[in-house]
Amino acid sequence: MRAKIFLGIAPESLKGLASSGGPNVMEAFLEELEGIEVDFVLLEKSRPMTQLVNDVDIIIPAVADVSAKVINAAANLKGIVQVGVGLDTVDIPAATKRNIPVVNEPEGSAIAMGECAFLLMLCATRRVLEAIDLMKKGVFFLPTTSELGGKTLGLIGLGRSARELIKRARAFEMRIIGVDKYPERVEVPALDFLGGIDRLDYILENSDIVSLHCPANEETRGMINYEKICKMKRNAVLINLARAGIIDREGFIRAMKEKKIQGAGLDVFWDEPMDPEDEILKLSNVFCTPHIATSTVEARERIFRATARAIRKVLNGEIPPNCVNL
């Protein structure tokens, strides 16, 4: 069998995957597709997506925008399989109309995301950026900050990454409350509070740290705006490693400039890569990391292997377990 696969990353990024200090994830990917001859098509800024995908069998979106126009241009398309969770750049209804399965990989990145969320919590709560700046000026023993122990962690979305964060937060003796679109399906035992998304304000008003773990869609896009941030405690911290669009950018910047809350930790942004002069990078109360939540060698290998296994199923005419539309 031979398969042509569009991978929505640039050639230089592909080289990075092969030299990230651990297992070569592309070799792991191809191991799972043993017996299938794979031809890759990579993202090119100089060519439109519609040309790049015109004869591919599989689209791996990665960071590429897979619109209805792109889907309809891919005459041989058999499946759209994402390396990771996010499908906000994929026109799922357009794929469904053509009976094309859309598949993601929500499990392989959960540990890495839970750990990164905890990193952002610690760095924002302990005001690491401010501390580094003071140290460079010769000032030690400042700023005076707060411990996580005994504080309330509020989770918006209680999927896999949130559950991994909960494990780590419990070790710090934090109180944990959360909301989810489907609270009746949540498998996390013994939360201090669990409610539907209609209790969002309760989470915002009662949490010391609010961490976002929900998908970006029509219901959640811009959900955290200036007014919602103002409902949070003045010494609270907002964490986002889900999708930038869940937070209204202008409202967020205004709230941080006005110091409506103590700070924020972000791993996702409205434009990626960011302009080095973006004003968000100049906010002293916002700790930023460059979308690295899933950038561990362990997570990448798990994700790429699982993605390849899903692709094999699609090519064999099967529907993978994590298909979201068929």
Known catalytic membership, residue 272: yes
Report the pLDDT averaged over residues 16-25.
64
Distance linking the first and last C-alpha atoms of the chain? 24
Residues of the chain with CATH 3.40.50.720: 2-108+296-315, 110-288
Per-residue pLDDT at 16 exceeds 70: no
Known catalytic membership, residue 291: yes
Which residues on neighbouring strands pair with residue 238, listed in sequence order?
210, 264
How many residues are there in the chain?
326
Q: Pick the catalytic residue from 243, 302, 305, 312.
A: 243
Contact between 172 and 149 (Cβ < 8 Å): yes
Q: Pick the catalytic residue from 127, 291, 300, 302.
A: 291
What dihedral do alpha carbons 12, 48, 222, 130 form, nearest 10°? 30
Tokens of 232: 């949070």
Tokens of 182: 């489907």
Per-residue pLDDT at 147 exceeds 80: yes
pLDDT bracket for residue 15 (50, 70, 90): low
Backbone angles phi, psi at 301, to 5 degrees: -65, -45
Q: How does pLDDT run across 151-178, given as a tens digit for each residue? A: 999 999 999 999 999 999 999 999 999 9
Per-residue pLDDT at 322 exceeds 70: yes
Nearest to 60 by CA among 319, 304, 295, 322: 304
Known catalytic membership, residue 213: no
Beta-carbon neighbour count of residue 199 at 10 Å? 17
Alpha-carbon distance of 178 to 194, in angstroms, equals 5
Pick left, alpha or beta for residue 74 (phi over 0 → left; psi -120 to 50 → alpha; otherwise beta).
Answer: beta
Tell me the pLDDT of the chain averaged across its residues: 93
Assigned CATH for 2-108+296-315: 3.40.50.720
Per the listing, tokens 């559950």 go with: 163
Alpha-carbon distance of 222 to 217, in angstroms, equals 9
Instruction: Return the SS3 of 166.
Output: helix
Predicted pLDDT at 23: 62
Instruction: Return the SS3 of 228.
Output: helix
Taking the whole predicted model, whether its pTM rises above 0.85 is answered as yes
Nearest to 154 by CA among 107, 105, 204, 82: 204
Q: Pick the catalytic residue from 27, 44, 258, 272.
A: 272
State which fold the 110-288 domain adopts.
Rossmann fold (3.40.50)
Question: In sequence order, which residues have a C-beta less than 8 Å from that of residue 164 and are 6 or more positions away?
Answer: 110, 111, 113, 114, 115
Instruction: Return the SS3 of 242.
Output: coil
